[in-house]
Structure 1
């Protein structure tokens, strides 16, 4: 092949004949904005349409559309390990080996074709105007002790995601409770008189700000960090990592087997995994995990920065792709509901 000539199967060449890119994700427009800016500077001819949905909805819509041979997502992005395992078992993940794979940690590429856009920590948030400085939580065990010492003050004024509400919430609590870090069902039982569950992070953030809740735990940092920039918020609310065990959720992504623009999709996925893509993801409020992303390139934390702040990787609870998560769903949710939703 002569210099300057492109191969017929070169993804850049093929992408120019494709009809744009459709992405189903659990990300808001402000999360995507810096990513799309960077991608379209490289590939300005690829029109990208990103739809923001729920962690399970992205898959359900894909199933419904492809079952009647309608165009559907070229890329799916979701923090729902259980749904990803079902999707893979149904042959939904398209074949792709990223050119960035050698630069990625093993935990971020759990199965062929499935990669990780970002690694999102779950954090604790608290209203610092309604708590004394010595009551600021730094972990769930400390929070449980505070609630036991001050039962009237804390009763139903602690919140977290409802594990029964959606796949992300289930995955977060499954990982934390089954790993025993920061604690298992015994810790949940101790916390239960203080806890009222919610379905979304934005609602938790708002209700901690207004004082309806004093503390939220296992709240996605992707929700918290951008909202901390809201005028006056940081004077009322602060956030911290759980020193007893910070849950880390992989934001999985893959080119779909049914993609009608597979070359464009592969270019996008490789960009998202690149150093520049990871920096752009951080600018959109996500946490990059490549080791070559420097702290001075991002507004919040990197994975390496998270490890340093916690004092070791052993304090991270990785949400993995564990098949037993699927097998024990009903039993787990039944126990969850009995713990947090039984009338007291």
Structure 2
């Protein structure tokens, strides 16, 4: 194959596949850290010699791209930030059965016959330690007047992990939609996806992110930012990042080799290096792991569209 590596950002969406990928190229659509998928793509190419083109964006933009291409599929592999993407695609019969031999050390709840976790993030409070507001301990703290107009949150319509958090919190009989009504009344804003929620806090115009993706803030801390990741006392949710091969793929062997690479020692070390929890339990990471966290019960039967509509209705005026 022609040795090319294309990493395509959401801002160049109109150029996607427009002459960058040859007919022989493996195409991966990935939500999540751009630097990570770039490193994984480069590692895969170095190992196999195969071409690979990546479209990296938010979960919402990845899903929109897939929907637009439904009649003429382009992607071979999809990596989402939301586990329900995989379960939904599985239910629709869109996925190719494949169990990688490198998935042996991935826990059963993080894999199925046709999808497997790349890595796992958790949702947290991301607090600017130089702000004038006190360090929060729990989700409900941010409805206190001390945090008036100082809180941001990722939009669950754009962020798959934020949707998982909202779904779990509103399903909890001790929390429910009442918390989000109070957060709205306290001036919490929902400016966009994960990065858009984090930026005002990094810049100091806001103080706390409600539902920050932990690895993003950990990465900022590693670069010297005055931030702290706080896992709330009530509990949080993890957001496994499923990888799946589309049944429509015309490069199924290459797609399987890519899954194998991501789950290899080298691939999982790259995942850990991005401050995500590796999918494999035998790969270490310099961060809290699932066993270190108190987890909320995930609402597996939740109605995604109804949840997103209700959330949007609450925050329409902020």
- TM-score category of the 2 structures, normalised to the smaller one: 0.7 to 0.9
Which of 203, 213, 217 in structure 2 is aligned with 1:220? 213
Show CA shifts across 1:229-288 (max 9, x none): 345x22xx2222222212211111111111111111101112212333211111134221
Rounded Cα–Cα distance in structure 2 between residues aligned with 1:103 and 1:259: 26
Which of 11, 21, 24 in structure 2 is aligned with 1:19? 24
Report the 3-state secondary structure (helix = DSSP H, G, I; strand = E; otherwise coil) of the residue aligned with 1:84. helix
Rg larger for: 1
Show CA shifts across 1:297-327 (max 9, x none): x3x4252xx433x4xxxx123657x24334x
Asked if residue 275 in structure 1 is aligned to residue 265 in structure 2, the reply is yes
Greater share of helix: 1
In structure 2, the CA distance between the partners of 1:177 and 1:61, relative to structure 1 (3 Å rule), is same
How many residues are paired up? 295
Rounded Cα–Cα distance in structure 1 between residues aligned with 2:151 and 2:242: 29
In the alignment, which residue of structure 2 is the partner of 1:207? 200
In the alignment, which residue of structure 1 is the partner of 2:127? 126
Report the 3-state secondary structure (helix = DSSP H, G, I; strand = E; otherwise coil) of the residue aligned with 2:28. strand
In structure 2, the CA distance between the partners of 1:129 and 1:324, relative to structure 1 (3 Å rule), is closer
Kept after mapping to 2: 8 A contact 1:35/1:280: yes
In the alignment, which residue of structure 2 is the partner of 1:30? 35
TM-score, normalisation: structure 2 = 0.81
Rounded Cα–Cα distance in structure 2 between residues aligned with 1:333 and 1:62: 20
Show CA shifts across 1:155-188 (max 9, x none): 222111233445443233112321458x322333
Rounded Cα–Cα distance in structure 1 between residues aligned with 2:110 and 2:170: 22
Show CA shifts across 1:8-67 (max 9, x none): xxxxxxxxxx92311011134311243234434432x11221111231332443344351
5+ residue gaps, structure 2 = 1-22
In the alignment, which residue of structure 1 is the partner of 2:66? 62
TM-score, normalisation: structure 1 = 0.76
Kept after mapping to 1: 8 A contact 2:94/2:247: yes
Which of 103, 106, 109 in structure 2 is aligned with 1:107? 109
In the alignment, which residue of structure 1 is the partner of 2:80? 78
Rounded Cα–Cα distance in structure 2 between residues aligned with 1:165 and 1:32: 19
In structure 2, the CA distance between the partners of 1:155 and 1:25, relative to structure 1 (3 Å rule), is same
Rounded Cα–Cα distance in structure 2 between residues aligned with 1:119 and 1:63: 25
Rounded Cα–Cα distance in structure 2 between residues aligned with 1:138 and 1:129: 17
